[in-house]
Amino acid sequence: MIRVVMVLVMLLSACTSRVEDEAEGGTGSITFVESRDISADGQVTKLVERWNERAGPREQVTFVQMPGSTDDHRAQLTARAQDLERVRNSPDCYDVIGLDNVWTAEFAAAGHVVPLDPEEFGVDRLLPQAVAAARSPGDGRLWAVPWRSDAGLLYYRKDLLAEADVSPPTTWAELRRQAVEIAAPRGLHGYVGQFKRYEGLIVNMAEVIWAHGGDLERPDDARTKAGVQAVADGIDQGWIPRAALDYEENKSLDEFRAGRALFARSWPYAGPVLEAEESRVAGKWGRVALPGPSALGGWNLAVSRCSANQKTAREFIKFVTNDDNQRRTFQRAGFAPTSLALYEEPGLVPIELRESVLEARIRPLSAYYDELTSVMQENLHHALDNPRAVDKSLDDLAAGLAKAVEGRG
Amino acid sequence: MGTQPLHAVHRTVLVVDVSAFSGRPRVPQEEIRRGLYAALETAFVDNGLDWSAAHHEDRGDGVLVLVPPDVPKSRVVDGVPHALLGQLRRYNATRTEESRIRLRMAITAGEVQYDPEGVVGDDVTLAFRLLDSRPLREALDRSTALFALIVSDRIHADVVRPDPALDLEAFRRVSVDVKEVHGHAWLHVPNGGTPAIGRRPTRHRRKRRRPPVAPVLLAVALLFVGTTNAARATPPAVPPCPPPIQLNVLVSAEKEEVVRSLALELEDDSGRHNPLGCKEFNALVFTGGSARAAAEALGRGWQPGDLTAVGAEPHVWLPDSRAEVLAIGDDLRERPDVTLHVRAGVAVSPLVLGASEELAAQIAPDGEFEWRHVAKPAAVDLSSGVGLLAAAALAQAELGPDLDSPRAAWVLHDITRRTSTDAPCVGEVAVIGSENAVAATDGCRVLYPRDGALVLDHPFVEVERPQRHNPRRQRIVHRLLEHLRAPGAQAVFKRAGFRDLAWNVIAPPDSGVRPDRPLDLPLQPRPGSVREAWEAASRPRTIGVATDSSPDAHLFAEQVSRLAGPGDRVITLPLTEDVVEAGVRAGAHVVVLASATPVPILAKGVSRPVRVVAVGFTEGACAPSTALYAAATAMDGPCHVVGGLNDPGAAEGREAAVHDVARAAWGG
């Protein structure tokens, strides 16, 4: 089905009018829209300022920050793009937009963004999975350039594992054993992750399922079920706290930071948080790649179809994603790069992050990802809360996905 | 048993009744009850449902079960009866005829409310009516099946029909005519001992039934994808769904929960009723921080900074009251980029007083009160629409429409300093709020103002951006308006404690909510000025008072000092040449000069602007030639002559002067 949409979009772009040609080669001032810049000293803002210092007065970039919640961010981008369908030269056009990598297919299928030439951006130098997430699932056309990546890490209590004389787990079974044998006698939670009903649940469950050899796109596969069952049983047996069914990033990290958990799944940004003054585990933690592949998080940059100055837009994307700027935003804002070369630079990317990002996999690609994720969230959350219903919930999910994949909820 | 929220919540309602239970002897009754509970619990658990999370109530012959909304309804309609059948067979196999169980079962879904008496809600009532209906009774009587199931028309449309796993033909449409229920429902009797429902279809049957596709719609859908070459593309069997329209709905905190559930309901419905089965829109329902922040962002045309501070640009705004729209009217009049269209209201809630039982008995034995008896109102939160109206009600009761009267600052300051941050509806502290919120607050009894209540009219405001007109979205906006005003949604508002558009209300027992329509009152002052005046009147102020040694001046100084609220300060200043500058240095916002004897010529020029009010007590004390007059007018302040202690008009004069001091301190 997605393929059909792509074909139609391609037909559209094939019969471009003169106006569109002009837009494609157009230069002028543009608007750049990205997530709220919460990095130290506003590194994204600084990046835009650097462009503006170099670019001529005609090609200035205005940086517009989106609402902090990703739902609101997406709603704002979508509504604006829908308002400007078939509109040219509107000052309201968001020329360059930052898209969560799971939204890219949807924006492409809706015709909100224009296809890009992979050669022009040299995407071969970027993480292949991140590039895959920026291509349409059917025809492989490129719709965005991966800018920032993100991958999960397993945070562990270095002090407690040393006492027990074991190394951090590399398989889910080992993790479980350590959680039961080391955490329980000390009155600690074994493992905390993000199991609330939101996108984080999909990330966490995809990772556990991959670790068990299954795949989110085949919910009725025995290995997929085994992955879900492992977490559901963990909650049932108590080494994963039942409260984790309501945890997102902050709450799960709070538990670990307060010294109440042996293991926590989190993102790279958690490091500095665990060393901050109020942390009770400062100096007592370590981190390794997850016991299995991580889900690849990250943000792509795309050019809106409404943009009249698409050449400037593309130049700006090249500027933002070049190695120098990626190195700088990694060092100063902690955005994990998408450039493969930077992962080979000695001393730049810590080994566990390198391993996690390079091995990371992408979540299902779909123009109807929104539908997919809501069906997956509903069934997975139910399964985790009802260990005896895992089988049925996942069979239901298989049926639900078949509908959702066509956008029919 | 699960937690029991006080507000209306969505539940799947399952009721069962043991056939001919009451005719049996006592002992089998006990046994049947135990057997029924065990069978139900197992049927739930077998479907992966948490029996303890479902609320269940014993209803004599049967059981009422409320299943939380996160459990897919299909599991209740499909899995539970199937499992129950197995359990009943197992149970009956080891029982004599008189202990055997046969069940009537009904399933509905909707908003229910937990109150001290039990569970109430139209759909609970409907479930019991269906359970009692003739077709269901007859169906069980005429068959040997262990149960007969009836589901509401809505469950059939929303759950049975769309779920390919359920066998449509196993449900028969029947007419139901019991008490207030006249309409259709759907009956199912397990066939020949094998349940027709609950069978999982084989894989190839799981595919979605092909929706009827009209050629015209096909073309439209393809066009939308954005090609004029659609004819050349091979039309797929079922065309792809066009992306749903994004609809951003900014809503007041009071209505957030209700509106979100109704918007999502319409969103889901849009897929079911669309000929292609495509969801037509995605709704984002958000409050945008405070109502005031949201309104002000709209007034500015929702600038880029508002995206991070408040949220996404709204297409629909559902404030508590039209007053909030009026408050930003001046800002918007000049803006070409945003136009607000105030459409009809979606619900109604009068502004009432919540009081403890003691206070209610004291000030409103008949349920109606007068504003002058509200000695200790709870602090008013001006950032919400309800708070704005609460301030307006208090102001209007004392001042009518005129917030510019000489008394206004004095009156408003007097009200604001009496407000209390202690818990409302405890002792003397009364809260002004919407009828729905007050009725839902512990310990609060709802009282109505005798002269009429201001009304939260919950308008539906369409936010138009003329430069970015989107007709497809506009149709969805209008559909949402229609949906919110339709009987189904009105019932939901009612269950959440609001009044519907015809002012009907579900009065919780002993809440004081009156079922009839209370007298309503139009809002008189301009909402924008209420907020300004109220904020000015609540500012903490320091007043410096300088007097001579006369009894008149002392009496006046005493009256001034009584103006101070908990956040204010009154300080004494020496009546010297540089008294005003001394006041400034001491942080005074107002300097009061009260003297029965001529004052020294005051130094001109102060380091910071300060307001001055002068009061003299002898004839000619404020003549233009006097130093007192010069001191006041130098700072654009008034000079009052108040008669001496023996003057019968003195009290009135003093009062006017005190009002002027209040205006200087707490006026706009």
* Residue B100 C-alpha, separation from nearest chain A C-alpha, in angstroms: 29
Q: Does position B229 have pLDDT exceeding 60, yes or no?
A: no
Higher pLDDT, B272 or A102: A102
Q: State which residues form the domain around B149.
A: 9-206
The average confidence (pLDDT) of chain B is 84
pLDDT in tens, A112-127: 999 999 999 999 999 9
* φ, ψ for residue B577, nearest 5 deg: -60, -40
Rg (alpha carbons) of chain A, rounded to whole number: 22
B214 confidence band (pLDDT: 50, 70, 90): very low
pLDDT in tens, B51-89: 777 888 887 777 889 888 888 888 888 888 888 888 888
Give Cα A16 distance to the centre of its chain.
33
Q: Does position B654 have pLDDT exceeding 80, yes or no?
A: yes
Q: Contact B121/B8 with Cβ under 8 angstroms?
A: yes
- Residue B215 resides in a domain: no
Helix (H) or strand (E) holding B250: strand B245-251
A12 in contact with B at a CB cutoff of 8 Å?
A: yes
* Residue B294 C-alpha, separation from nearest chain A C-alpha, in angstroms: 13
A6 confidence band (pLDDT: 50, 70, 90): very low
Q: Exposure pattern of B585-623 as b/e (b: 16+ CB <10 Å)?
A: eeebbbbbbbbbeebeebeeebeeebbbbbbbbbeebbe
A11–B240: do the CB atoms touch at under 8 Å? no
Question: Which pLDDT score is estimated for B44?
Answer: 84
Residues in chain A within 8 Å Cβ distance of B67: none
Sign of CA dihedral B389, B392, B394, B400: negative
A409–B308: do the CB atoms touch at under 8 Å? no
> Would you list the DSSP string of A345-377?
STTTS-HHHHHHHHH-BPPPP-TTHHHHHHHHH
Which residue has tokens 């009256």?
B559
Residues in chain A: 409
Q: Indicate the Cα dihedral angle A351, A357, A361, A362, nearest 10°.
A: 170
Pair B133, B196 in one domain: yes
Range name among B8-12, B36-40, B118-122, B165-169 with the lowest pLDDT average: B165-169
Question: Which pLDDT score is estimated for B149?
Answer: 92
A284 in contact with B at a CB cutoff of 8 Å?
A: no
Pair B509, B565 in one domain: no
Closest residue, chain B, to A381 (C-alpha): B70
Closest residue, chain A, to B468 (C-alpha): A83
Q: What is the C-alpha separation between B198 and A265, in angstroms, rounded?
A: 39
* Residue B525 C-alpha, separation from nearest chain A C-alpha, in angstroms: 35
B225–A8: do the CB atoms touch at under 8 Å? yes
* Residue A183 C-alpha, separation from nearest chain B C-alpha, in angstroms: 28
Pair B306, B285 in one domain: yes
Closest residue, chain A, to B230 (C-alpha): A8
- Residue B341 resides in a domain: yes
B241–A87: do the CB atoms touch at under 8 Å? no
Number of helices followed by number of strands (H, E) in chain B: 23, 24
B206–A402: do the CB atoms touch at under 8 Å? yes
Pair B332, B356 in one domain: no
| Closest alpha carbon to A260 in A239, A230, A277 | A239
Q: What is the C-alpha separation between B86 and B199, in angstroms, rounded?
A: 13
Based on the number of CB atoms within 10 Å of its own CB, is B219 exposed (0-12), middle (13-18) or buried (19 or more)?
A: middle
Residues in chain B within 8 Å Cβ distance of A381: 70
Pair B187, B296 in one domain: no
| Closest alpha carbon to B433 in B491, B384, B399, B504 | B384
Q: Does position A85 have pLDDT exceeding 60, yes or no?
A: yes
B191 confidence band (pLDDT: 50, 70, 90): low
Nearest to B312 among A75, A111, A408 (CB): A75
Q: Does position B427 have pLDDT exceeding 60, yes or no?
A: yes
| Closest alpha carbon to A249 in A297, A195, A207, A206 | A195
A36–B165: do the CB atoms touch at under 8 Å? no
Residues in chain B within 8 Å Cβ distance of A4: 233, 236, 239-240
Output DSSP code: residue B112: E
A107 confidence band (pLDDT: 50, 70, 90): very high
Residue B138 belongs to domain with CATH number: 3.30.70.1230
Residue B596 belongs to domain with CATH number: 3.40.50.280
Residues in chain B within 8 Å Cβ distance of A65: 304, 307-308
- Residue B214 resides in a domain: no
Q: Does position B308 have pLDDT exceeding 80, yes or no?
A: yes
Tokens of A211: 């670790």
* Residue A220 C-alpha, separation from nearest chain B C-alpha, in angstroms: 12
Pair B589, B471 in one domain: no
Q: What is the C-alpha separation between B248 and A79, in angstroms, rounded?
A: 8
Q: Contact B67/B48 with Cβ under 8 angstroms?
A: no
Tokens of A39: 């990095």
A75–B206: do the CB atoms touch at under 8 Å? no
A17 in contact with B at a CB cutoff of 8 Å?
A: no
Pair B396, B447 in one domain: yes
* Residue A283 C-alpha, separation from nearest chain B C-alpha, in angstroms: 35
B312–A79: do the CB atoms touch at under 8 Å? yes
- Residue B45 resides in a domain: yes
Question: Which pLDDT score is estimated for A390?
Answer: 93
Residues in chain A within 8 Å Cβ distance of B307: 64-67, 76
Q: Does position A205 have pLDDT exceeding 90, yes or no?
A: yes
Pair B34, B178 in one domain: yes
Question: Which pLDDT score is estimated for B18?
Answer: 85
- Residue B226 resides in a domain: no
Helix (H) or strand (E) holding B358: helix B357-363
Question: Which pLDDT score is estimated for B402?
Answer: 84
ipTM summary value: 0.86
Site from B45, B260, B270, B307 to mutate, A interface, most A CB atoms within 10 angstroms: B307
β-strand pairing of B147-152 with B611-616 = unpaired
Q: Contact B220/B449 with Cβ under 8 angstroms?
A: no
In percent, the amount of chain B with pLDDT more than 90 equals 50
Range name among A217-221, A299-303, B212-216, B380-384 with the lowest pLDDT average: B212-216
pLDDT in tens, B490-523: 999 999 999 999 999 999 988 999 999 999 999 9
Which residue has tokens 């040694």?
B549
3-state secondary structure of A40: coil
Amino acid at B640: H
| Closest alpha carbon to A222 in A78, A398, A65, A359 | A398
The average confidence (pLDDT) of chain A is 92
Question: Which pLDDT score is estimated for B477?
Answer: 97
Q: What is the C-alpha separation between A105 and A375, in angstroms, rounded?
A: 18
Q: Contact A61/A73 with Cβ under 8 angstroms?
A: no
Pair B580, B618 in one domain: yes
| B148, B181, B206 - which closes a domain | B206
- Residue B323 resides in a domain: yes
- Residue B2 resides in a domain: no
A109–B243: do the CB atoms touch at under 8 Å? yes
* Residue B106 C-alpha, separation from nearest chain A C-alpha, in angstroms: 24
Q: Does position A258 have pLDDT exceeding 70, yes or no?
A: yes
| Closest alpha carbon to A272 in A37, A35, A39 | A39
Q: Exposure pattern of B393-416 as b/e (b: 16+ CB <10 Å)?
A: bbbbbbbeeebeeebbbbbbbbbb
Tokens of B483: 């949906």
**Number of domain units in chain B:** 4
Question: Which pLDDT score is estimated for B27?
Answer: 65
Residue B408 belongs to domain with CATH number: 3.40.190
Q: Does position B220 have pLDDT exceeding 50, yes or no?
A: no
B245–A82: do the CB atoms touch at under 8 Å? yes
A4–B240: do the CB atoms touch at under 8 Å? yes
3-state secondary structure of B547: strand
Tokens of B663: 């205006």
Which residue has tokens 């943000």?
A299
A3 in contact with B at a CB cutoff of 8 Å?
A: no
pLDDT, average across residues A241-256: 94
- Residue B500 resides in a domain: no
Residues in chain A within 8 Å Cβ distance of B473: 79, 82-83
Q: What distances in angstroms separate CA B469 from CA A85, A279, B339, B385, one per listed residue?
A: 10, 51, 11, 29
Other C-beta atoms closer than 10 Å to the C-beta of B97 total 7
Amino acid at A67: P
Interface of A with B in 52-71 (CB under 8 A): 64-69, 71
* Residue B172 C-alpha, separation from nearest chain A C-alpha, in angstroms: 25
Q: How many CB pairs under 8 A join A and B?
A: 155
Pair B107, B169 in one domain: yes
pLDDT in tens, B595-610: 998 888 888 778 888 9
- Contacts for B125 with CB less than 8 Å, ≥ 6 apart: none
Rg (alpha carbons) of chain B, rounded to whole number: 34
* Residue B204 C-alpha, separation from nearest chain A C-alpha, in angstroms: 11
Closest residue, chain A, to B205 (C-alpha): A399
Q: What distances in angstroms separate CA A133 from CA A66, A101, A104, B123, B132, one per listed residue?
A: 22, 6, 7, 46, 56
Q: Does position A10 have pLDDT exceeding 60, yes or no?
A: no
Pair B296, B361 in one domain: no
β-strand pairing of B542-547 with B459-464 = unpaired
- Identify the structural domains of chain A with CATH numbers, from first to last: 2-150+296-359 (3.40.190.10), 153-295+370-404 (3.40.190.10)
> Would you list the DSSP string of A132-160?
HHTB-TTT--B--EEEEEE--EEEEEHHH
* Residue B402 C-alpha, separation from nearest chain A C-alpha, in angstroms: 41
A390–B48: do the CB atoms touch at under 8 Å? yes
A12–B226: do the CB atoms touch at under 8 Å? yes
Q: B110 - beta bridge partners?
A: B11
Residues in chain B within 8 Å Cβ distance of A396: 72, 74-75
Question: Which pLDDT score is estimated for B234?
Answer: 36
Residue B471 belongs to domain with CATH number: 3.40.190.10
Q: What is the C-alpha separation between B377 and B404, in angstroms, rounded?
A: 23
Pair B13, B127 in one domain: yes
B208–A75: do the CB atoms touch at under 8 Å? no
Q: B591 - beta bridge partners?
A: B544, B612
Q: Contact B369/B499 with Cβ under 8 angstroms?
A: no
